[in-house]
């Protein structure tokens, strides 16, 4: 069974080379996140002032920062934190959004309308500003970046799940499940949700890139992650001070890491959407 | 003229239906700001060794000693009278601060939107004219990369290239360099004020400061605009009326611009509206990179020094701009396609 699924996936990926590359990129990112800290050539936190602000060289592939720390090592180590923030934020909003949206779409009526209003209010906010305010309100910690990113993503998942469930609430197999004595809660959780999950998984992959950018943006303005923790956004912020004196590597390499990570997730999401629903291709 | 009346009616209805959301924003922001850590009374007392009584007096002055629901009602009453409170940071009324700084943000965002539209629409049209061609793939690649580079990175790299390497751009801080004197403020938009004052050197100086941050923001939003232009152009180029226009021998560009593009522009307007509101919010990063004295950096500074009123005022302003932009999109929609009705 698993072998057949695997073969089928491989067959699909052969027809979509770009998606295959993106999938490989995501796998590589995850591997780096897991094993990165144990394979880096230098300590990402120990400073060595005699080597400060060195341009990229054979010894330091991505140069060194103002404290002489190896930028390449810091980049590799940062992968884990950046991925954990993005994945957990998107995971939280996915689970909450799917359940809330599905119940609203199934129940309709007053509950649906008031949640819809709440979602409208959320979407009328400048979302990045909302995230900023929430991190400031909850306390300047990494967990709160996760929570803030999860909350600003929530409206999109609620809407998505609501719409998907709403069109299916009265189709034949749902009627059949109800007729055979399933409770409403069980109809939603065991019948409707599994049916909208594939479409939502695509949404999730597209969303991960956005979550990475969002978290990096927050730490860039000084919220959440504190130095000397290696994280891509804060590395750019620290490098920003040296850009007008020509130390490009402190900004360019963390920027490149961010770009590649977001690109992989976006391409994977696009590819998955094309495979699930070829009509959506643009 | 009947079509215009319908459009106005529709816009009015949309406006009414967005009022509850605005009200929700108001309450939500108020509650959010009350949860913020740090006691502003302590923060703004005369110094670290301010006595307990002094802090109490300040708390009373700021109304922080009253119960939260009462504070909310007072706040709503004040907002209703157009009073958004006073910023503790600048010592001025928030409305005054926002009014002074909003033109800077608007000038930046509008220029960025203009740059984005002027580059995205032709790119999208070119890609749609020859799907699958070299141009199409190029545009696709550019779009895919554009949304992946965070604005704070592309902004810094633009500074590196144009300020450090090429020396073309001025020192990337603020709206104007220290040597240029400001024009008399009429609109608050420096480019327009300089023109009105007839000061072309000043205009050039302001333009040079503006172009890099605007380009930074534009780079990030070209992708969605070009994508939607391409998709919608493909549909309209494949439709019957374009085939008919071709068959009666109209010239190629005439068909593309007058018939196909006009019919394809509706979704582009919608996305442009969404993009504009997103840009106003995401301004924070660009304004920080370029030390741009706009409303977003004002709100960020206020937030970091637990100054409630400016942040509330900023979020309310952004939500109102959002509503106004949506209305504008509705009206434009009605003008671009008179068939659109309620």
Residues B241-276: tens digit of each pLDDT? 888 888 887 777 778 877 888 888 888 888 888 888
Pairs of CB atoms within 8 A across A/B = 150
Distance from C-alpha of B321 to C-alpha of B205, rounded to nearest angstrom: 29
Contacts by A19-25 with C-beta closer than 8 Å and gap 24+? Answer: A19/A267, A19/A268, A19/A270, A19/A271, A19/A272, A19/A274, A19/A275, A21/A267, A22/A263, A22/A264, A22/A265, A22/A266, A22/A267, A22/A268, A22/A271, A23/A268, A23/A271, A25/A260, A25/A263, A25/A264, A25/A267, A25/A268
Q: Which residues of B touch A243 (CB under 8 A)?
A: 156, 159-160, 164
User: Contacts of residue A220 in chain B, CB cutoff 8 Å?
Assistant: 150, 152, 285, 288
In 3D space, the residue among B251, B270, B265, B275 whose CA is nearest the CA of residue B128 turns out to be: B265
SS3 B286: helix
Does residue B308 carry a pLDDT above 80?
A: no
Distance of alpha carbon B221 from alpha carbon B198, whole angstroms: 33
Q: A105-114, B26-35, B106-115, B182-191: which has the highest mean pLDDT?
A: B106-115
CA distance linking residue A5 with residue B175, whole number of Å? 58
In chain A, residues with a C-beta closer than 8 Å to the C-beta of B14 are none
Cβ-defined contact of A133 to B315 (cutoff 8 Å)? yes
CA atoms within 13 A on the CB side of B236: 22
How near does any CA of chain B get to the CA of A126, in Å?
5
Contact A282 B231 (CB under 8 A): yes
The phi, psi pair for B93, rounded to 5°, reads -65, 140
Q: Do B284 and A220 touch (CB under 8 A)?
A: no
Residues 6+ apart with CB under 8 A from A52: A64, A65, A66, A67, A68
pLDDT band at B38; cut points 50, 70, 90: low
Predicted model pTM: 0.83
d(CA B264, CA B266): 6
Percentage of chain B surpassing pLDDT 70?
Answer: 89
* B32 interaction partners in chain A (CB closer than 8 Å): 133-134, 137
Nearest CA distance, B339 vs chain A (angstrom): 26
Per-residue CA distances from B102 to A250, B97, B106, B306 (Å): 32, 8, 6, 21
- pLDDT of residue B146 exceeding 80, the answer is yes
Burial A127-151 (b: 16+ CB within 10 A, else e): bbbbbbbbbbbbebebebbbbbbbb
How far from the centroid of its chain's Cα atoms is residue B51's Cα? 44
- Report CA-CA distances (Å) from B68 to A6, A57, B34, B63, B219: 58, 59, 8, 10, 44
Of B21, B148, B278, the CB nearest to A262: B148
Class of A2-43+66-280 in CATH: mainly alpha
- State the DSSP code for B183: P
Averaged in consecutive runs of 10 residues, what is the pLDDT profile of chain A (282 residues)?
69 77 88 83 76 73 76 86 91 90 81 80 75 79 89 87 80 80 78 80 83 88 82 87 81 89 88 68 48
Best of A26, A120, A122, A133 to substitute, by most chain B Cβ atoms within 10 angstroms, is: A133
| pLDDT per position as a tens digit, A95-115 | 998 888 888 878 777 888 888
Nearest to residue B176, comparing CAs of B280, B103, B285? B103
Nearest Cβ partner for B315 among A129, A237, A244: A129
> Measured between beta carbons, which residues in chain B are less than 8 angstroms from residue A268?
none
Q: How far is B200 from chain A (nearest CA, A)?
A: 28
Residues 6 or more apart whose Cβ sits within 8 Å of residue B28: A121, A125
pLDDT in tens, B150-205: 888 888 888 888 888 887 778 777 777 767 777 777 777 877 888 788 777 888 88
Q: How far apart are CA B26 and CA B186, in angstroms?
A: 30
- Which residue of chain A has the CA closest to B314? A129
A69/chain B closest Cα distance in angstroms:
20
Query: Which residue among B36, B277, B280 sits closest to A137, beta carbon to beta carbon?
Result: B36
Please, how many CA atoms are within 13 Å of residue B150, restricted to the half-sphere of its CB? 37
Q: Which residue of A has its CA nearest to B287?
A: A221
Q: Which of B43, B148, B172 to mutate to test the interface with A (most CBs of A within 10 A)?
A: B148
Q: Cβ separation of B284 and A132 shorter than 8 Å?
A: yes
pLDDT at B342: 39
Residue A78 vs residues A51, A87, A175, A225, B247: alpha-carbon distances, Å: 21, 14, 50, 11, 60
Contact B24 A117 (CB under 8 A): yes
Tens digit of pLDDT for each residue in B44-77?
A: 655 555 667 777 777 677 677 777 778 888 878 8
Torsion sign over Cα B274, B275, B280, B284: positive
Angstroms from A253 CA to nearest CA on chain B = 10
Q: How far is CA B330 from CA B304, B323, B338, in A?
A: 37, 11, 11
Nearest-CB residue to A243 (from B22, B156, B278): B156
Q: How far is CA A104 from CA A110, A164, B112, B133, in A?
A: 9, 11, 39, 45
Cβ atoms of B315 and B22 closer than 8 Å: no
Domain boundaries defined on chain A: 2-43+66-280
Beta bridge partners of B93: B86
Distance from CA of A248 to the nearest CA of B (A): 7
Within 8 A of B21 by CB-CB distance, chain A residues are 117, 120-121, 124
Q: Which residues of B touch A245 (CB under 8 A)?
A: 164
Tell which of A21, A125, A205, A274 to mutate to test the B interface (max B CBs under 10 Å).
A125
Cα B291 to Cα B280: distance, rounded to the nearest angstrom: 16
Q: Determine phi and psi for B186, rounding to 5 degrees.
A: -110, -55
């Amino acid at each position: 069974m698993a072998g057949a699924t695997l073969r089928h996936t491989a067959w699909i990926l052969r027809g979509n080379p770009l998606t295959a590359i993106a999938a490989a990129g995501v796998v590589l990112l995850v591997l780096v996140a897991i094993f990165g800290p144990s394979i880096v050539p230098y300590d990402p936190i120990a400073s060595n002032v005699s080597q400060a602000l060195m341009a990229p060289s054979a010894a330091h592939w991505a140069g060194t920062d103002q404290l002489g720390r190896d930028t390449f090592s810091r980049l590799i180590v940062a992968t884990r934190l950046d991925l954990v923030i993005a994945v957990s934020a998107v995971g939280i909003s996915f689970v909450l959004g799917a359940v809330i949206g599905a119940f609203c779409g199934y129940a309709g009526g007053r509950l649906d309308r008031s949640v819809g209003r709440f979602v409208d209010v959320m979407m009328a906010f400048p979302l990045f500003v909302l995230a900023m305010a929430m991190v400031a309100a909850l306390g300047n910690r990494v967990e709160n970046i996760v929570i803030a990113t999860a909350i600003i993503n929530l409206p999109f998942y609620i809407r998505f799940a609501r719409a998907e469930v709403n069109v299916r609430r009265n189709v034949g197999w749902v009627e059949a499940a109800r007729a055979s004595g399933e409770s409403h809660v069980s109809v939603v959780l065991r019948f409707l949700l599994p049916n909208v999950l594939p479409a939502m998984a695509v949404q999730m992959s597209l969303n991960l890139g956005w979550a990475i950018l969002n978290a990096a943006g927050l730490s860039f303005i000084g919220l959440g992650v504190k130095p000397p923790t290696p994280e891509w956004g804060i590395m750019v912020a620290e490098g920003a001070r040296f850009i007008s004196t020509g130390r490009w590597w402190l900004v360019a390499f963390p920027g490149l890491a961010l770009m590649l990570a977001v690109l992989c997730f976006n391409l994977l999401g696009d590819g998955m959407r094309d495979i699930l629903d070829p009509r959506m291709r643009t | 003229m009947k079509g215009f009346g319908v459009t106005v009616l529709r816009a009015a209805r949309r406006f009414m239906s967005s009022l509850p959301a605005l009200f929700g924003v108001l309450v939500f922001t108020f509650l959010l700001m009350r949860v913020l850590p740090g006691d502003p009374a302590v923060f703004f007392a005369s110094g670290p060794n301010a006595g307990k009584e002094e802090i109490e007096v300040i708390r009373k002055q700021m109304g922080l000693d009253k119960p939260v629901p009462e504070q909310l009602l007072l706040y709503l009453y004040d907002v209703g009278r157009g009073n958004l409170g006073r910023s503790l940071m600048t010592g001025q009324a928030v409305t005054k601060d926002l009014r002074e700084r909003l033109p800077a943000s608007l000038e930046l965002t509008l220029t960025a939107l203009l740059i984005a539209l002027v580059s995205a629409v032709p790119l999208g049209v070119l890609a749609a004219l020859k799907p699958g061609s070299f141009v199409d793939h190029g545009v696709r690649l550019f779009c895919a990369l554009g949304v992946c580079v965070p604005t704070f990175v592309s902004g810094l790299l633009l500074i590196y290239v144009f300020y450090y390497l090429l020396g073309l751009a001025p020192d990337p801080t603020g709206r104007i360099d220290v040597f240029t004197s400001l024009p008399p403020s009429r609109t608050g938009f420096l480019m327009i004020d300089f023109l009105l004052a007839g000061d072309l050197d000043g205009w050039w100086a302001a333009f040079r400061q503006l172009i890099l941050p605007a380009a930074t923001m534009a780079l990030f939003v070209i992708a969605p605009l070009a994508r939607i232009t391409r998709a919608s152009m493909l549909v309209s180029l494949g439709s019957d009326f374009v085939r008919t226009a071709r068959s009666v021998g109209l010239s190629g560009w005439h068909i593309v611009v007058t018939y196909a593009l006009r019919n394809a522009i509706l979704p582009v307007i919608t996305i442009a509206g969404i993009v504009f509101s997103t840009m106003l919010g995401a301004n924070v990063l660009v304004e920080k990179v370029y030390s741009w004295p706009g409303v977003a950096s004002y709100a960020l500074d206020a937030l970091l020094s637990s100054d409630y009123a400016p942040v509330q005022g900023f979020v309310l302003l952004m939500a109102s701009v959002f509503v106004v932009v949506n209305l504008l999109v509705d009206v434009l929609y009605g003008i671009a396609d008179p068939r659109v009705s309620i």
